[in-house]
Chain A
Amino acid sequence: MGTTASQLGKDLLSEYQELTFLTKQEILLAHKRFTELLTKDEKDLPNTRVPVERILTLPELKSNPFRKRICHVFSTSEYKDGSLTFEDFLDLLSAFSDSATMEIKSHYAFRIFDFDDDGTLDCGDLEKLVNCLTGETDDTRLTTEEMRQLISNILEESDIDKDGTVNLSEFQHVISRSPDFVSSFKIVL
């Protein structure tokens, strides 16, 4: 199911409307922004895959510390290089849209935060997560001692079955108690 060169067909549009949480305007805007990323000869091919460097030039993703993880999670390429087709891009926008359910958002948030892709958030994942949150510069990073304490506190609070990692259910349990999550896990084009 590919996209035609410059226009989205009507039935394709209604199908995307049914399968994602995006409205018609949002899908059309996404199509416009996606085709802007394509080079001239790529525009004629159906189902082109845009490499990750070009996706990361989008202003909505450029400064986000999780940008590479986001592209990786939504990418369906066999090489796992983070490149996105138009449908992957729609998946991304749908998960980050206004009307997506809490469950979809928490599912994808979990996958984004799972840096080593093993299905749970263990200490290494949490450490990388905190480093992404606090920024790249040295003066905003936590010291090793603080990091250790923070991770042990987090695991104490959220690891219910005490296996040392936070799996998807435990993550969703924590997220469901935070009412701001749904409004902050949004990207709007």
Chain B
Amino acid sequence: MEAGLESPVDEDGVHDSFSQLIAEQSQNGGPSDAFQLQQLQRHLDEEDRDNVAHLSSPGRDLRERRLRQRDVQWEDDERQGDPLLGERWSSATMRILSSMPSRTIGRSRGAIISQYYNRTMQLRRRRQSRPAIRDFSHSARPSIRGYGMEADSTDAEVSKRERLVNNLQNLSVSDRVRMLRAMPLNVAEKSELRRLALQKEKSTISGSQIPCCSQLKYYIIIGARQSWYSWLSFLHSLQLGQVALKRVSGRFGSGVLSYFLFLKTLLFFNLFLFLVTGVFLVLPQAVHPPVLPAGRASFSGLELLTGAGYFSDTVMYYGYYCNYTLGRSCMEADGGQNVSLPNGTRLDCVSENLTYNMPLAYFFTIGVSFFITCIILVYSMSKSFGQSFRIDKSHSILAMKVLSSWDFKVIKKTSVKLMSENICTQLKELLAEVNHKHVKNTRCQKLWRLMVHGLAWAICIASTTACVLAIYYFSGHMHQKQSSRSTIDPLLNEASLLALPVVVSLINLLLPGLFNLAAWMEDYDSPSVRTYVSIGRNLMLKVSVLGVLCYHWLGRVAADPKMIGLECWESFVGQELYRFLLMEFIFTLLDTLFGEFLWRLFSEKVLKRRRKPVFDIAKNVLELIYGQTLAWLGVLFTPLLPAVQLFKLLLLFYIKMSSVMMNCQSPRKPYRVSQMTTVFITLLCFPSFLGASVCVTYTMWSLTPSSSCGPFRELKTMFQAGKRWVEALEKDNPNLSVLARAHSYLVENPFFLFVGAGIFLIVIYFHSQVVDGQRKIIGLLQEQIQNEGEDKKFLITRLQSIHEQKRTPGRRLTSQDC
């Protein structure tokens, strides 16, 4: 960090703490000491012109300085039982120490101004707007002006300020605003600097002849900036549930807040998907409804749960969408779209008005929305990772805990007390861990621990496998029953469709409880390991459940839809996903009700404990991720599913908010917010989004769409819609054959994929080497700073000893080692 090259000028603020102390002691020290030191002053060359009466003899405990390698002597009575050992310095040395740049950089205005002067100079150099020679001080040699060689030490603060103002004025507007904002001065001083900078700018602008286009540019820039500020304010005012979030963070801190922020992130993803599918798919199809087959079911209440029945022939599902190009003139001409055209041809009447190629739109909308979601996810994941990853692997757990763990957002008194208790416990635990690192376990104990871990993992894996097999056989069983059951009461038929979702949601609810029990008997080294193991087990369960369900839908149902009498397997899969999403929501509500509300009542009234249930952040976030995976899986089959998910998340936000405020208390274990947020975003990207997009890609690439419904009927795969379009383009316009050929090479030839992946891996390898190099440099710099510290100590002790030697030898002083 560039400290000011000049030593800071005397300012009142620097000596503030000492003036009181020194004044206090000068009352006790007596006049003789001050007088002798005054004589001494005249012999020494001191740069300061302080009033000598303020100095006093070394006496009571001024700040101690602790030196490891030196023998120290200390006087008990004068130290007042201070347990820390150290040298005692004379007040002159203390004064010099207190005005060292490293100590005043945080406080003196002059130091801050000179620091920012250097920074603005560097910024100007970087931006290539070289400072004019006349801006430099005259003392620098002309040949080296502009290379940062200013080393004047006697500049008054005023001229430093002038130079800073000059630099500010020469920066661009956004740079200036950023510099001014980042300065740690108070608003009055910053506005003074700004006023000076603008004043000069106005005078230069009005003075010189500015051509009209750059003046226009100036006004455009100002107008753009104003509109940007108002846009930011508008966005800020739109914040959802700001008051509620503040209440939660005021009571529970950042950990629980991160759950709600994650929920908001998912809300935005779903909003984006909903807008895209709504505008490009739902709206055009709703405006041009196709002719529906006869025998449509009437509305009974069961549709809301099963999604079938009345809903199955609505715009909600894949089966409703047309496979031809929509256009208004055709509808008028034929009086109803009874015409089902083969895919390649186009009617003459269509070409006169706005047309909308539905299969192509469907294909590209899903593809592009997934692509954009992928980009946004990868970007936020890498940003989050960058914030929480640190190159330097040194262990400074205690320092970090003490210096940065206080959460200023917490404002409720009881929560503050709880936080203090938590910090105290964690500090004691960390101290014990740091200072008794090697608790040697005997071989027997290690073996025992390993056995317990193995047993717990065996229980978890066995129960997961058992549940997965159960789902597999049960879904197969339901599949069989479905095919043989079409004659029984249709309502019962529909209700039996709910059986599989209920079973899966039950498993998702109960099995994590079993995992918790298994983890309870285990003994972990640290609480974060425990959290990660629990997340890993839950993840394993959910991934396997989703895997077997995908196999069931895409492998069983899609492969042979005729077996269960399905005309349109995609709509069926869409309905299944709707049911699963809804059941998951209902079970989350039940879990909130029983797990939090009733448990709190039970523990208060029956068990008479004052501790409320703890809000388990990891479990709730994993449930959100599971729901989002289902939503992503279902977008292809049910374009309105993001709307359902949006609605569900909004309800969940407010329900969870009120449940947390009423029923829960904040977690007692330390929760590293930034790391956990990164983990959750990574989980959202990798297993969740990746899995969903793999399934969707597989469906589009390899599965045969149903032949009697949907926008891709009579095609071999959904992907062919894109290919056909490219072929049609090529036919219409032979100049675009290059595009078509490029398309077929890039998309279908795996060679490019390999080359791309290879380049990517090489780039990653280079970056990791750079990171290693930087780690080594950090180590070297730390050593260098340590050496400089030794130099500093040496110089100070020499200064002190010279000072002592020049004093009259008869004085009684405590001896100092040299």
Q: Which residues of A contact B (CB under 8 A)?
A: 1, 14-21, 23-26, 59-60, 62-66, 74, 76, 80, 87-88, 90-91, 94-96, 101, 103-104, 107-111, 113-114, 116-120, 122-124, 126, 129-130, 133-135, 140-142, 144, 146, 148-151, 153-155, 157-158, 160-165, 167-169, 171-172, 174-181, 183-188
Judging by beta carbons under 8 Å apart, are B416 and A65 in contact?
yes
For A80, list chain B residues within 8 Å (CB): 16
For B397, list chain A residues within 8 Å (CB): 157
The 6 closest A-B pairs by CB, nearest first: A161-B789, A135-B420, A119-B103, A179-B674, A164-B66, A181-B404
Identity of the chain B residue whose Cβ is nearest the Cβ of A28 in the assembled complex: B233
Distance A96 CA – B417 CA, assembled complex (angstroms): 21
Judging by beta carbons under 8 Å apart, are A87 and B187 in contact?
yes
Query: Known: A118-B103, A183-B674. Is A87-B186 also a contact (CB below 8 A)?
Result: yes
- A-B contacts besides A19-B194, A123-B64, A187-B409, 17 pairs, CB < 8 Å: A18-B181, A24-B229, A25-B233, A65-B406, A95-B184, A103-B182, A129-B402, A133-B424, A133-B427, A141-B424, A146-B428, A151-B84, A153-B399, A160-B785, A163-B793, A179-B387, A184-B409
B518 contacts chain A at the CB level, 8 A cutoff: no
Interface string of B415-429 (1 = CB under 8 A from A): 011001101100110
Distance A134 CA – B426 CA, assembled complex (angstroms): 10
Distance A126 CA – B402 CA, assembled complex (angstroms): 9
For B674, list chain A residues within 8 Å (CB): 179-180, 183
For A17, list chain B residues within 8 Å (CB): 229
Contact of B236 among A15, A23, A135, A162 (CB under 8 A): A23
For A109, list chain B residues within 8 Å (CB): 403-404
For A126, list chain B residues within 8 Å (CB): 402
Judging by beta carbons under 8 Å apart, are B184 and A108 in contact?
yes
B388 contacts chain A at the CB level, 8 A cutoff: yes
For B63, list chain A residues within 8 Å (CB): 118, 122, 124
What's the least CB distance linking B679 to chain A, in Å?
13
Contact of A91 among B84, B187, B786 (CB under 8 A): B187
B68 contacts chain A at the CB level, 8 A cutoff: yes
Distance A6 CA – B411 CA, assembled complex (angstroms): 28
Distance A157 CA – B397 CA, assembled complex (angstroms): 8
Judging by beta carbons under 8 Å apart, are B66 and A123 in contact?
yes
Judging by beta carbons under 8 Å apart, are A117 and B16 in contact?
yes
Judging by beta carbons under 8 Å apart, are A162 and B68 in contact?
yes
User: Which residues, 555 to 611 on B, are CB-close (under 8 Å) to A?
Assistant: none
What's the least CB distance linking A82 to chain B, in Å?
14
What's the least CB distance linking B10 to chain A, in Å?
15
What's the least CB distance linking B427 to chain A, in Å?
7
What's the least CB distance linking B705 to chain A, in Å?
47
Identity of the chain A residue whose Cβ is nearest the Cβ of B237 in the assembled complex: A25
Contact of B409 among A123, A164, A188 (CB under 8 A): A188
Judging by beta carbons under 8 Å apart, are B404 and A19 in contact?
no
For B413, list chain A residues within 8 Å (CB): 62-63
Contact of A135 among B249, B424, B792 (CB under 8 A): B424
B105 contacts chain A at the CB level, 8 A cutoff: yes
Judging by beta carbons under 8 Å apart, are B236 and A123 in contact?
no
For A185, list chain B residues within 8 Å (CB): 404, 408
What's the least CB distance linking B629 to chain A, in Å?
27
Distance A129 CA – B427 CA, assembled complex (angstroms): 13
Judging by beta carbons under 8 Å apart, are A168 and B102 in contact?
yes
Identity of the chain A residue whose Cβ is nearest the Cβ of B400 in the assembled complex: A178
Specify the main secondary structure of chain B where it touches its partner: helix
Contact of B408 among A1, A25, A62, A64 (CB under 8 A): A64
Specify the main secondary structure of chain A where it touches its partner: helix
A101, A122, A183, A188 — which one has the most chain B CB atoms within 10 A of its CB? Answer: A183
What's the least CB distance linking B777 to chain A, in Å?
14
For B184, list chain A residues within 8 Å (CB): 95, 103-104, 107-108
Contact of B421 among A108, A130, A135 (CB under 8 A): A135
Distance A186 CA – B229 CA, assembled complex (angstroms): 22
Distance A153 CA – B435 CA, assembled complex (angstroms): 9
B396 contacts chain A at the CB level, 8 A cutoff: yes
For B434, list chain A residues within 8 Å (CB): 153
Judging by beta carbons under 8 Å apart, are A87 and B789 in contact?
no
Judging by beta carbons under 8 Å apart, are B186 and A74 in contact?
yes
A-B contact count (CB 8 A): 244
Could you say which interface size class chain B belongs to?
35 or more
B405 contacts chain A at the CB level, 8 A cutoff: yes
Contact of B420 among A117, A134, A168, A181 (CB under 8 A): A134
Distance A113 CA – B631 CA, assembled complex (angstroms): 48
For A114, list chain B residues within 8 Å (CB): 106
Q: Could you write out 15 A-B pairs with CB less than 8 Å apart?
A: A16-B187, A19-B190, A21-B181, A76-B188, A96-B408, A104-B184, A113-B403, A126-B402, A135-B424, A140-B420, A154-B403, A155-B66, A163-B793, A164-B86, A187-B409
For B402, list chain A residues within 8 Å (CB): 126, 129-130, 133, 150, 154
Distance A115 CA – B18 CA, assembled complex (angstroms): 13
Judging by beta carbons under 8 Å apart, are B424 and A174 in contact?
no
B152 contacts chain A at the CB level, 8 A cutoff: no
Interface string of B433-466 (1 = CB under 8 A from A): 0110000000000000000000000000000000
For A148, list chain B residues within 8 Å (CB): 83-84
Contact of B675 among A146, A179, A184, A188 (CB under 8 A): A179
Interface string of B35-77 (1 = CB under 8 A from A): 0000000000000000000000000000111111000000000
Judging by beta carbons under 8 Å apart, are B431 and A153 in contact?
yes
Distance A64 CA – B394 CA, assembled complex (angstroms): 31
For A172, list chain B residues within 8 Å (CB): 1
Distance A24 CA – B227 CA, assembled complex (angstroms): 13
Distance A14 CA – B424 CA, assembled complex (angstroms): 44
Distance A59 CA – B416 CA, assembled complex (angstroms): 12
For A110, list chain B residues within 8 Å (CB): 106
For B18, list chain A residues within 8 Å (CB): 118
Judging by beta carbons under 8 Å apart, are B675 and A157 in contact?
no
What's the least CB distance linking A169 to chain B, in Å?
5
B79 contacts chain A at the CB level, 8 A cutoff: no
B790 contacts chain A at the CB level, 8 A cutoff: yes
What's the least CB distance linking A99 to chain B, in Å?
9
For B67, list chain A residues within 8 Å (CB): 164
Contact of B186 among A63, A76, A176, A181 (CB under 8 A): A76
For B708, list chain A residues within 8 Å (CB): none
Query: Known: A164-B65, A177-B392, A178-B404. Is A150-B409 also a contact (CB below 8 A)?
Result: no
Contact of B83 among A16, A95, A144 (CB under 8 A): A144
Judging by beta carbons under 8 Å apart, are B392 and A101 in contact?
no
Judging by beta carbons under 8 Å apart, are B396 and A158 in contact?
yes
What's the least CB distance linking B674 to chain A, in Å?
4
For B249, list chain A residues within 8 Å (CB): 188
Judging by beta carbons under 8 Å apart, are B194 and A60 in contact?
no
B817 contacts chain A at the CB level, 8 A cutoff: no
Distance A19 CA – B732 CA, assembled complex (angstroms): 59
